[in-house]
Chain A
Amino acid sequence: MSIGIVENLIEQLSKLPGIGRKSAQRLAFFIMAMPDAEARGIADAILALKDKARFCGQCFNICETGICDICSDARRDASKICVVEEPSNLIVIERTRSYRGLYHVLLGSLSPMDGLTPERLKIRELVTRVAHGGTEEVIIATNPNTKGEATAQYIAELLKPFNVAVSRIAYGLPIGGDIEFADEVTLAKSLEGRRTMG
């Protein structure tokens, strides 16, 4: 066994977000102990992703063709666009099965404390999509934090000239929790977002 090979893998793995040297080391030793086929499976999956996967030309979801499955599905409601920060957010919303419209993935969020730099994100592409017509509602589902809120406000402002309804997903208390443990900001936001019953 050459230590250089292991060392190289550790170094490669620690390039991944959230993987420090220690975790990378653990993963490398784990892969060492894996059956050949499984380890090859991981390596092949990475290569296949890089060879075949790309961002959808319309919504920037990940797909294997030029246009993703959601965008090309005629049964989806094309009058609605749900704006999310990352492809992983889209997957979570899809899992709820309560949304049948289209998406737009920004590939990040604005960071007002570091200067906005909106050109990093797919915001211009969203505006172009809306400008083409056919959209009635844009639902902004960015994260309920400062970055997500800033991104939402920035987009809402840009979409003002168009005849579309712009909405923001509701802030609420976590299900299963006890109000006693909610912090004042979360509680204030859920009071603001209350709705009438019955």
Chain B
Amino acid sequence: MRQVRLDDAAFMNQRSDALVLKTREYGDADLIVTFFARELGIVNGFAKSARKFRSRFGASLEPLSHVRLTLMGKEGAALPRITQADIIDSFRAIREDLQLLLHVAPLADFMAGMLHEHEPHPRRFDLFLAALRSFEKGAPRELVALAFRVKFLWMTGYAPRTGGCGRCGATFQGSFALFYPTQGTVLCRNCAPEGEAEAVKLGAEAVKLLETVKTRRFDELAVMPVSGEALAGAGRVIDAHVKRHG
């Protein structure tokens, strides 16, 4: 154990609940771990000897682990040392199911892409955690993924507008709406720009779905009947929107 001078104010402990997003092997047996920490935002930490079988970190630094994290380093250090990571929730049911993991990994990527280092976002953290719990319980994957993305965009203020025309406010009527990725909104026939080819067609059920997922909890959504077509349509809108504005 290295001696820590507690009177040295330059060294400090930082504690937070955190989710492991990624790990990168370093040297013979060390790991560099990227966390989304509830109170610290995106942070990297250095775990000495974490890949040894008798490492005290055990399985706590595997991706998607929810841990109680302690970091130690000089204030503002780029790579503080991970001194402790106690598992709160391992989410191994997700990690050990390759198909499910491949479904969740892009969401972590999507989220990390919209976060900055050292900017805490407790509500977004809680949202991701709730989505993971939902996946772990076996909730419908596509629906949880869609709801997570919509809710996350909503929290960050980048949500697409799908409830009505983004220009004149006209409410949705008819069997489908047209979403314009360049404008980030649905536009009614009167307001739609001439000859814009890249509008995404959105059926009535998909329009409703995009509104519903904003307000319902994951466990409420999990028991809601949703057609594959509505899910696919809503997903296409979010994809197009994120590609344009993400």
By a beta-carbon cutoff of 8 Å, the part of chain A in contact with chain B is 17-18, 112-116, 145-146, 149-150, 153-154, 157, 174, 177, 181-186, 188
Minimum distance in angstroms from B126 CB to a CB of chain A: 21
Query: Which of B98-106, B185-193, B216-224 binds A?
Result: B98-106
The interface residues of chain A lying within 8 Å CB-to-CB of B95 are 146, 149
Q: Are A185 and B101 in contact (CB under 8 A)?
A: no
The interface residues of chain B lying within 8 Å CB-to-CB of A115 are 105
* Distance between Cα atoms of A153 and B53 in the complex (Å): 22
Among A113, A153, A181, find the residue whose CB has the most chain B CB atoms closer than 10 A: A113
The interface residues of chain A lying within 8 Å CB-to-CB of B109 are 113
Q: Are B22 and A145 in contact (CB under 8 A)?
A: no
Q: Are A113 and B108 in contact (CB under 8 A)?
A: yes
Asked whether B162 is an interface residue with its Cβ less than 8 Å from the other chain, the reply is: no
By a beta-carbon cutoff of 8 Å, the part of chain B in contact with chain A is 21-22, 26-28, 30, 53-54, 56, 58-60, 62-63, 87, 90, 92, 95-96, 98, 101-102, 105, 108-109
The interface residues of chain B lying within 8 Å CB-to-CB of A150 are 98, 101
The A interface is mostly helix, strand or loop, or mixed, namely: helix
Chain A residue at minimal CB-CB distance from B106 = A115
Q: Are B98 and A185 in contact (CB under 8 A)?
A: no
Minimum distance in angstroms from B219 CB to a CB of chain A: 24
A185 with B54, Cβ < 8 A, contacts A116-B102, A149-B96 known: no
Among B87, B101, B108, find the residue whose CB has the most chain A CB atoms closer than 10 A: B101
Partner pick for A112 among B30, B58, B87, B101, CB 8 A cutoff? B101
Chain B residue at minimal CB-CB distance from A110 = B98
Minimum distance in angstroms from A141 CB to a CB of chain B: 14
* Distance between Cα atoms of A18 and B30 in the complex (Å): 9
Q: Are A177 and B54 in contact (CB under 8 A)?
A: yes
Q: Are A174 and B53 in contact (CB under 8 A)?
A: yes
Known: A116-B102, A149-B96; 10 extra A-B contacts, CB below 8 A, are: A18-B26, A18-B27, A112-B98, A112-B101, A113-B22, A113-B101, A150-B101, A154-B98, A177-B54, A185-B92
Lowest 5 CB-CB distances: which A-B pairs, in order?
Answer: A183-B58, A18-B27, A185-B59, A153-B98, A112-B101
